[in-house]
């Protein structure tokens, strides 16, 4: 009798394990909140001209998040925060780009983190990752879990297609490589084993081919007239730069469609949590990548899983990508050993649920991005709290240049246009190289340009406060407005309380400015 009962329980356990959902994360580099599902007739934007049928389908058949934010608008720390579910500053060496950790100065907290992929693996999942990692491969169990051998041409989409004599054949080869990497991953999976696979192309990362948005995707730059964020000059050169970026976003969406189709053909799509998102905002533009303002930190997010997520669910409350780790582990019946700061989103996604089950705010910040952006390789320390109504920003070192030192840009001279368009380190290195950056430098003294230059790389005050109800693009700082003093105080206290509770090293005598977080001792 006891043996029969034991066999019954084991059988039930295996059945439960087999029904656990697969997890497919489609994660683009440098892709902000750009998808046609976000188009709004009341708010003209680049989303009016982009076409992303795969993202739109996932949002329509699952949940669309109106306001999703990264923990930090920089590749390494953003990705590390996602797979740990922790605020970026808790991740030791991976709290900054390229993990500049002085190994002999102190133990690295990241060495003691297990992370979501390995927690899933130890819970019975087959795990794999393709294309960009930007973390130590130990976080995914080693190089054996990287699936790039079939090819990586998706990362050079516009360059490959522009040079190709037969564009249809070149496009087929790119997407065949995407399929083959996923197929190679699935080939190592045990029968009925749930999987976690993360697809991470970099084609939306600089640089891409100028004019490719129109040539490859039919995106007319001048259709963006009147649709750019007001922090950018509305000129043809910048519209073309944005259109080219949107073309890369459409290529990413098409690649996502290849993987979704493979799951649909195998009958596994409905038992798969499909997530589409990106690691931070648009690169090479004012207030974009590396900025805590929405243009730099807000990203697209859709999640589909018919088992637990109601179709056409629209989430308006701010969420953070650190919420994905608790969500995945919740769905898999597992818990994180890493004390994550994120929360599972599933209780807010079921039929009849609402946003009241969510935290309702996101904590964002950054330290070092480009290593040589400032003299002494110093960071730009900033933390922010994004609520439904306000963005509060604390700039800890307002005397530093937020986008890095001017270097070769002076009152009377600047590097050649081509250098600024193709070399991030020519000036203001925390703003990526781009035609937009080059245009701004070249025209920085023109009449009416002062506000745009200030948005792009001007020094900032110690505090910023924006009322999103009246200023959605965050152009008017209300921190010194007496009418908002109470709000400023409340958000400041909330942010600082969260930083103190989680032992942010920036509060510990500016620890990010010294070893082990910095390679050199500051005197």
Same domain, yes or no, for 73 and 202? yes
CB 198 within 8 A of CB 129: yes
Banded model confidence at residue 3, pLDDT cuts 50, 70, 90:
very low
Banded model confidence at residue 104, pLDDT cuts 50, 70, 90:
confident
For the record, the structure tokens of 323 come out as 């919420």
Please list, in sequence order, all residues whose beta carbon lies within 8 angstroms of the beta carbon of residue 470, skipping any fewer than 6 positions away: none
Which residues constitute the domain of residue 396?
375-513
Cα separation, 161 vs 250, whole angstroms: 14
Percent of the chain with pLDDT over 70: 96
**Coil/strand/helix, residue 387:** strand
**Quick one: which H or E segment has residue 484?**
none
**Quick one: which H or E segment has residue 436?**
helix 435-442
Residue that terminates a domain, selected from 359, 392, 420 = 359
Same domain, yes or no, for 411 and 267? no
Question: How large is the average pLDDT for residues 302-326?
Answer: 97
Same domain, yes or no, for 162 and 270? yes
Lowest model confidence (mean pLDDT) among 113-122, 237-246, 418-427: 418-427
Same domain, yes or no, for 266 and 185? yes
pLDDT on residue 222: 96
Phi, psi of 421 (to 5 degrees): -75, -20
| Residue 366 belongs to a domain | no
CB 69 within 8 A of CB 386: yes
pLDDT of 216-227, one tens digit each? 999 999 999 999
For the record, the structure tokens of 133 come out as 């990692």
| Residue 5 belongs to a domain | no
**In 3D, which of 65, 116, 19 has the Cα closest to residue 362?**
65
| Residue 518 belongs to a domain | no
DSSP symbol at 20:
S
Counts of helices then strands in the chain (DSSP H, E)? 14, 14
Number of domain units in the chain? 2
Same domain, yes or no, for 324 and 466? no
Same domain, yes or no, for 250 and 293? yes
Same domain, yes or no, for 299 and 380? no
pLDDT at 9 over 70: no
| Residue 447 belongs to a domain | yes
**Coil/strand/helix, residue 170:** helix
Residue that terminates a domain, selected from 330, 359, 388 = 359
Residue 467, strand partner residues: 390
Cα separation, 432 vs 416, whole angstroms: 16
| Residue 520 belongs to a domain | no
pLDDT at 434 over 80: yes
pLDDT on residue 313: 97
Higher pLDDT pick, 11 / 397: 397
Cα separation, 459 vs 49, whole angstroms: 33
Residue 64, strand partner residues: 302, 314
| Strand positions, DSSP E, 328-467 | 361-366, 382-387, 390-395, 463-467
pLDDT at 7 over 60: no
pTM for this entry: 0.95
Question: How large is the average pLDDT for residues 381-399?
Answer: 98
Same domain, yes or no, for 275 and 380? no
Same domain, yes or no, for 84 and 178? yes
pLDDT on residue 519: 80
Question: How large is the average pLDDT for residues 36-45?
Answer: 96
Same domain, yes or no, for 387 and 332? no
What CATH number has the domain bearing residue 114? 3.40.720.10
Banded model confidence at residue 16, pLDDT cuts 50, 70, 90:
very low
Same domain, yes or no, for 219 and 251? yes
**Rounded mean pLDDT of the chain?**
95
- Taken in order 114, 117, 121, 123, is the CA torsion positive or negative? positive
CB 154 within 8 A of CB 178: yes
pLDDT on residue 506: 98
Q: Residue 288, CB half-sphere, CA atoms under 13 Å: how many?
A: 26
For the record, the structure tokens of 411 come out as 């009152």
**Quick one: which H or E segment has residue 22?**
strand 22-28
Question: How large is the average pLDDT for residues 90-97?
Answer: 97
| Residue 298 belongs to a domain | yes
**In 3D, which of 122, 140, 120 has the Cα closest to residue 130?**
140
| Residue 412 belongs to a domain | yes
Same domain, yes or no, for 200 and 74? yes
Question: How large is the average pLDDT for residues 495-516?
Answer: 97
Other beta carbons less than 10 A from residue 458's beta carbon: 14
DSSP 215-283: HHH---GGGGTTTS-TTS---HHHHHHHHHHHHHHHHHHHHHHHHHHHHHHHT-GGGEEEEEEESSS-T
pLDDT on residue 15: 40
Banded model confidence at residue 521, pLDDT cuts 50, 70, 90:
low
Go through the chain and tell me how many residues it has: 523
| Residue 370 belongs to a domain | no
Cα separation, 360 vs 509, whole angstroms: 30
Residue that terminates a domain, selected from 331, 359, 387 = 359
Cα separation, 328 vs 305, whole angstroms: 11
């Amino acid at each position: 009798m006891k043996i029969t009962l034991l066999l019954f329980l084991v059988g039930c356990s295996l059945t439960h394990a087999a029904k656990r959902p697969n997890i497919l994360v489609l994660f683009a580099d440098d892709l902000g909140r750009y998808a046609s599902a976000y188009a709004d007739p009341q708010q003209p934007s680049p989303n009016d001209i982009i076409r992303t049928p795969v993202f739109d389908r996932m949002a329509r058949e699952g949940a669309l998040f109106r306001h999703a934010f990264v923990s930090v608008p920089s590749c390494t720390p953003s990705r590390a925060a996602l797979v740990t579910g922790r605020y970026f500053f808790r991740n030791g060496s991976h709290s900054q780009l390229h993990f500049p950790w002085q190994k002999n100065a102190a133990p690295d907290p990241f060495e003691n983190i297990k992370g979501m992929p390995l927690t899933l693996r130890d819970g019975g999942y087959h795990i794999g990752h393709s294309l960009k990692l930007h973390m130590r491969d130990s976080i995914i169990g080693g190089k054996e879990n990287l699936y790039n051998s079939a090819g990586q041409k998706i990362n050079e989409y516009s360059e490959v297609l522009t040079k190709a004599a037969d564009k249809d054949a070149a496009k087929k080869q790119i997407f065949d490589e995407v399929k083959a990497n996923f197929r190679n991953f699935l080939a190592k999976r045990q029968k009925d084993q749930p999987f976690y696979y993360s697809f991470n192309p970099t084609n939306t990362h600089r640089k891409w081919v100028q004019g490719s948005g129109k040539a490859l995707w039919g995106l007319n730059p001048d259709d963006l007239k009147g649709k750019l964020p007001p922090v950018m000059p509305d000129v043809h050169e910048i519209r073309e730069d944005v259109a080219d970026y949107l073309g890369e976003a459409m290529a990413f969406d098409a690649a996502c469609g290849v993987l979704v189709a493979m799951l649909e053909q195998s009958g596994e799509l409905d038992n798969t949590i499909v997530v589409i998102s990106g690691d931070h905002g648009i690169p090479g533009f004012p207030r974009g990548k590396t900025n805590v303002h929405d243009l730099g930190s807000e990203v697209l997010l859709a999640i589909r899983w018919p088992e637990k997520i109601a179709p056409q669910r629209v989430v308006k409350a701010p969420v953070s990508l650190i919420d994905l780790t608790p969500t995945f582990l919740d769905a898999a019946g597992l818990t994180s050993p890493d004390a994550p700061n994120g929360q599972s989103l599933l209780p807010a996604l079921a039929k009849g649920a609402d946003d009241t089950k969510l935290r309702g705010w996101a904590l964002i910040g950054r330290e070092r991005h480009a290593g040589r952006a400032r003299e002494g390789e110093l960071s730009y320390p900033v933390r922010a709290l994004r609520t439904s109504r306000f963005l509060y920003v604390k700039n800890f070192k307002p005397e530093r240049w937020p986008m890095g030192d001017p270097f070769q840009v002076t009152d009377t001279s600047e590097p050649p246009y081509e250098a600024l368009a193709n070399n991030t380190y020519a000036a203001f290195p925390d703003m990526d190289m781009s035609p937009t950056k080059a245009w701004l430098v070249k025209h920085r003294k023109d009449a009416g340009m002062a506000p745009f230059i200030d948005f792009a790389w001007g020094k900032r005050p110690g505090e910023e406060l924006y009322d999103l109800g009246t200023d959605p693009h965050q152009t008017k700082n209300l921190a010194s407005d007496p009418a908002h003093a109470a709000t400023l105080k409340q958000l400041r206290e909330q942010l600082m309380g969260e930083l103190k509770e989680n032992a942010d090293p920036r509060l510990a005598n500016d620890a990010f400015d010294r070893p082990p977080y910095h390679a050199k001792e500051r005197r």
